[in-house]
Structure 1
């Protein structure tokens, strides 16, 4: 019942927002019955429908069909956010623009148009000759001359309406240009591929011989109807180019099933690191079928850590399932992954969501590697992400445990990032004994 109420409320807000977008970008800037008004009205109905279908279409349609409405639906989702923000900002500027327009119009009005014309003295007509006077047509029978049609200026209401139309077009056009520019730049950043970010993390228990050990951290690749095999290949090539000692894939690899997206993930088989590549589940794996994906990445040579631990030469690497697996009896089990280990060794934990940091503190983890937040992905989404996560991006300390959260290498929903560029992080471990 609660889910249904929330869904209705969300659709209501979506409807109100799109009515406002239609009013400011279609109705207020066009003449009734025109082609622009008709086309804009159709799009104002069609685009939000595609936006709603995009995130739920994967459950109802094959991937090949989903792509047809995922691209326009998700891109419009991003454009509508920044178009709405820009138009709301324009509301504050609208009165100022109207005043400036009126002032400019008064300055351009010539002085003669606002002063009464000087009276003109018409000289008397000369007397007619007698011969002509005898043949003149009597005044009472002469046809009156047709008066000239007056050219009255437009009334004040028409002038004000024209002025408001001009300002509405300026505001709408500027808002559309801002929205398209922001989204275009954000989409380029995602489709170009993530950039490498360098972070140094000191660990008290790390032996001197491991000083400078490098871990590549990648999360939230989100293969799906938009990001596919080419995106995976860019990520693999970027990771291999930095030659890390260890590779960690920290969840949310896919948004779909193995039969549909297995080929897109296959380049992961080419990951190369001295101590191998490891994987833990994210919440989206449980939306797509976690067990088949765990087996598939294992076949690719990436080692899944399902509430498990492996002892590397210089520290313990552990991984826990995502908390989304709890409903399926596959949630995180910290005791199984960490309780029987040697506490004198440093422990690095892979856990998709940062909210599990307090469990890591209780179990003596030295460093937790997470993703999930996307750094907010679309500004001002970072402020919302801060409400649900202890750390949205970067490195922070909680007691004796440090938490590093990567912004992720892909994008969920719109293939767009604004204020939160995608990254692959190389975490360099530093020994305090070095």
Structure 2
């Protein structure tokens, strides 16, 4: 197993190195003069930035103090997003480059043959030397950049502007906080008395070295402003340990709903140490649903642990959460990952609320996330079970979203008897 891990790590690091070399070549080597300050600076950046990424991912969970990780996480994570869109933009540039080379090719006027003029040379003097031709491969006009250099700079500049603009816009949309979505979901077994019951669904906040206390407060304020009847926090609340992130999650103690706030674990809770977070979150006033359920007016609200807990013997247990319930009552299930929807179908769940996918977070990863999950985002039906997947409130890794805006969703349950 260790040998396989080492081989995979070597392959990944090699691929990262090759891709960074390609970006350096197109952005730096092809656009700058040898030995110039710009080339030296570009070379240093292409070494330092990927090292920051590695330090952020590895050092943050091993040896580096949290305050150091907070400093390096911003440039490290942002570079990941910029690097992705640089690669995509440069790939498009490879297709455009030949066309630009043709368009910039100058048409030279035909030259008339010149007959050398015979000039008498006085006795004892050497004949005049002919003008030296520039070395092969160098432009005859040294002040004018070569056509290839011009095209390289146009492609590199356009790719850089596109990448920075995309990441800047995506970061702004993420950091300003999630927007509220509203959705009405009819449930066949919901009694008339529970018609209009509103559940605020929030997932994937991912508080950590980048998204901290201020972001958590914006999420809490947004949820409370909707005045929900209940709040469902469906996993991946944090990225880190309680000692470092206790101040960041403190605002969650201010969540307000008539029937309380409920929490189920996500895969990142198990990565960060689920035991410590389960205890801490309950101390903030959130009610944990660890393979358990509660009766709310008109329906059952159940929750299951995330599938990542299976390695610790704490995975989802649908029989425990739903096995002995009254099936004439509607059931709403909180489960972090949408992949468990088929278990929900077998246990007669009417509505499953999930997150985990981030809606892909960074295009074009939405296509990958769509292949790995039954539903990428939004509401879909699986037999008699409806599944709603939130894109999440925060972001994992780069605090950037492209093509997958963050959300907090207010689900309004509707009775068909109303």
- What is the TM-score with the length of structure 2 in the denominator? 0.94
Compared CA separation, residues 140 and 169, structure 1 to 2 (3 A): closer
- Correspondent of 2:233 among 228, 246, 249: 249
Instruction: Say yes or no: does 1:196 pair with 2:180.
Output: yes
Larger gyration radius, structure 1 or structure 2 = 1
Compared CA separation, residues 412 and 147, structure 1 to 2 (3 A): same
Structure 2 CA distance for aligned equivalents of residues 249 and 175 of structure 1: 39
Compared CA separation, residues 149 and 70, structure 1 to 2 (3 A): same
Residue 93 of structure 2 is matched in structure 1 by 90
Q: What secondary structure, in the 3-state scheme, does the structure 1 residue paired with 2:149 have?
A: helix
Instruction: Say yes or no: does 1:362 pair with 2:346.
Output: yes
Structure 2 CA distance for aligned equivalents of residues 325 and 229 of structure 1: 27
Structure 2 CA distance for aligned equivalents of residues 33 and 395 of structure 1: 57
The gaps in structure 2 that reach 5 residues or longer are none
Map 1:17-416; keep pairs closer than 5 Å.
17-60=19-62, 61-102=64-105, 105-106=106-107, 109=108, 111=109, 114-116=110-112, 140=123, 147=128, 150=131, 158=139, 162-416=146-400
Deviation at 1:413, TM superposition (A): 0.3
Compared CA separation, residues 224 and 116, structure 1 to 2 (3 A): same
Residue 132 of structure 1 is matched in structure 2 by none
Q: What secondary structure, in the 3-state scheme, does the structure 2 residue paired with 1:429 have?
A: strand
Structure 2 CA distance for aligned equivalents of residues 238 and 355 of structure 1: 28
Structure 1 CA distance for aligned equivalents of residues 160 and 409 of structure 2: 35
Deviation at 1:199, TM superposition (A): 1.4
Q: Answer with 224-233 or 34-43: which moved more.
A: 34-43
| Aligned structure 1 segments of 4 or more residues deviating by more than 6 angstroms | 117-122
**CA offsets 1:266-310 (integer angstroms, 9 cap, x no match):** 111111111110000001111111122111111111111111100
Structure 1 CA distance for aligned equivalents of residues 342 and 55 of structure 2: 37
Residue 135 of structure 1 is matched in structure 2 by none
Structure 2 CA distance for aligned equivalents of residues 115 and 16 of structure 1: 46
Structure 2 CA distance for aligned equivalents of residues 20 and 176 of structure 1: 14
- Structure with the higher helix share, 1 or 2: 1
Structure 2 CA distance for aligned equivalents of residues 161 and 182 of structure 1: 30
Compared CA separation, residues 65 and 140, structure 1 to 2 (3 A): closer
The gaps in structure 1 that reach 5 residues or longer are 123-137
Pairwise CA RMSD of aligned residues?
2.3
Structure 2 CA distance for aligned equivalents of residues 12 and 155 of structure 1: 37
Aligned residues: 412
Deviation at 1:56, TM superposition (A): 2.1
Q: What secondary structure, in the 3-state scheme, does the structure 1 residue paired with 2:148 have?
A: helix
Deviation at 1:149, TM superposition (A): 6.7
Q: What secondary structure, in the 3-state scheme, does the structure 2 residue paired with 1:231 have?
A: helix
**CA offsets 1:208-229 (integer angstroms, 9 cap, x no match):** 1222211100000001000000
Q: Answer with 261-270 or 58-67: which moved more.
A: 58-67
Structure 1 CA distance for aligned equivalents of residues 364 and 19 of structure 2: 17
Deviation at 1:386, TM superposition (A): 1.4
Deviation at 1:152, TM superposition (A): 5.2
Q: What secondary structure, in the 3-state scheme, does the structure 2 residue paired with 1:158 have?
A: coil
Q: What secondary structure, in the 3-state scheme, does the structure 2 residue paired with 1:275 have?
A: coil
Deviation at 1:115, TM superposition (A): 3.1
Structure 1 CA distance for aligned equivalents of residues 13 and 398 of structure 2: 19
**CA offsets 1:28-64 (integer angstroms, 9 cap, x no match):** 1111111111111111111111112222222112211
Deviation at 1:200, TM superposition (A): 1.5
Deviation at 1:120, TM superposition (A): 11
